[in-house]
Structure 1
Amino acid sequence: MYLTRFRLNTARAGSRHLLASPQRMHAAVMSSFADVLPGDPHAPRVLWRIDRNSRAEALLFIVSEQRPDLTHLVEQAGWPTTAAWQTYEYTSFLDGLAKGGIWDFRLTANPVHHVRRSTDEIRKRTAHRTPRHQMGWLLDRQERAGFRVLETPAERRRLAQGDEHQLTVRDEQRHRFGKTDTGTGLANRVPLVTVTFDGRLEITDPELLRRTLTLGLGKAKAYGCGLMTLAAASGGTR
């Protein structure tokens, strides 16, 4: 497994073109693998995520089985003569994860649930709209994903509700794009709501967490969702 990091040059039109569309970014990411043909249903799993740290800093992260070649992205949306990308061997890091380890994490996800307004209506997938419900979506999945989000000590909680965990949600993005139904051939407009979670976790099941880090968490993985990354726990409490 490989973890790749690439900084996009947000001053370039090509970069802004990609950042405006999860579909275009997905196509650019998949073009980084010489053996993957466009639209191949058997293509290996590739996770990616955009971190928008500021107006001038947007980072692309990729987790993949194959080592990617991002030359086309450097030429279109980077600094062709002065900077490239960094790819790291990821397997040894994954193998070193141990139960009880404390890590800071980041995850961009598509928190959804299924609702129906009446008993005879088909259940429809709907995005969670509030930070409280978006956090609840992640907390409901933490055990099956191999970790638990740490609780905030009572003396450090600032709110009566919603501040119980070392977890924040930010950078909500809303997209709507065309997609053709493979069964009917009909085109429709697909809404996509994504949010980014930052928090601190404890590993409860290393094997399950390895699956989460390499296979992703939640829906819309082709559109930049599901990729969780870990970093050494920083000092203090979030």
Structure 2
Amino acid sequence: MHLTRFRFNTARIGARRVLSSPQMLHAAVMSSFAEIPQPGEDGARVLWRIDRNSKAETYLYLVSPDKPDLTHLVEQAGWPQTGGWQTFDYGTFLERLTTGQQWAFRLTANPVHTARRNDEEPTKLTAHVGVRHQRDWLLKRQQNAGFKVVEKSPERRLAPQDEHELIVHDRRQLSFKKSGQRQPVTLVTVTYDGRLEITDADAFRRTLVRGLGKAKAYGCGLMTLAEA
């Protein structure tokens, strides 16, 4: 497994054009491989995420079974003479994860649920739009994903719902067209920043290489870690 980071040159028209469309970003990511990687025996797949730390600091993070070549992105949306990308050995890092460790994390996800207005209607995927429901979406999945979001001590809680080391931000509604389809695709995405504790190292490793939630092809599901 590999973890790759690429910085966009947002002053360039090519960068702004690619960043404007999840469909174009998906195509750019998959073009990084001579052959599109197929999910491995452990379910590992290509995952990616855009981090907009500031107007001039926008990064692509990419986790993949195969090593990518981002030359096309550097030429179109980076710094061809002085820029590039960094690829790290992710497998070695994953092997060092153990139950009980605590990490800071970031995850961009597509929090959805199934709903219907009456018993006659078929269920359909519906986006969570409220912060409380978006937060609860992640908390409901943490056990199966092999981690738990760390709880705050009572004296640090600012409100009854402020129980966890978790921030929900950068809430976006994306709309784009896929080739061959008349109706646009609409996605609600949310970024979670927080602190977690690993409760099941094997399950957690699977989460990191398989992704969490829906819309993985469009920049959702990739969780990255940093020292807490």
Aligned to 2:42: none
Of 216-225 and 124-133, more deviation after overlay is shown by: 124-133
Residue in structure 2 matched with residue 2 of structure 1 by the alignment = 2
Do residues 61 (structure 1) and 56 (structure 2) align? no
| 2:143 aligned counterpart, secondary structure | coil
- 1:226 paired with 2:228, answer no
Aligned to 2:11: 11
* CA displacement 1:194-229 (0-9 Å, x = unmatched): 010000000000000000000000000000000000
Question: Unmatched 5+ residue regions in structure 1?
Answer: 37-41, 234-238
The offset of 1:190, in angstroms, is: 1.7
Q: Report deviation, 1:186.
A: 5.8
Distance in 1, Cα, partners of 2:33 & 2:206: 22
Q: How does 1:108-147 map to 2 (within 5 A)?
A: 108-147=108-147
Q: What is the rounded CA distance, in whole Å, between the counterparts of 1:11 and 1:47 in structure 2?
A: 26
Distance in 1, matches of 2:52 and 2:171, equals 11
| Alignment-derived partner of residue 168 in structure 1 | 167
Normalising by structure 2, report the TM-score.
Answer: 0.95
Q: 1:209 matched to which residue of 2?
A: 204
Distance in 1, Cα, partners of 2:121 & 2:182: 22
Match of residue 31 from structure 1? 31
Asked if structure 1 preserves the Cα contact closer than 8 Å seen for 2:23 and 2:178, the reply is: no
Q: Which residue of structure 2 aligns with residue 39 of structure 1?
A: none
Identity %: 63
Q: In the TM superposition, what whole-angstrom CA distance separates every residue of 1:59-113 from its partner, at most 9, and x where no partner exists? A: 1000000000000000000011111000000101000000000000000000001
Quote the RMSD (CA, aligned, Å): 1.2
In structure 1, what residue type is equivalent to 2:118?
S
Q: Alpha-carbon deviations, 1:167-205, whole Å to 9, x = none?
A: 00111121112246xxxx864222101010000000000
TM-score when scaled to structure 1?
Answer: 0.91
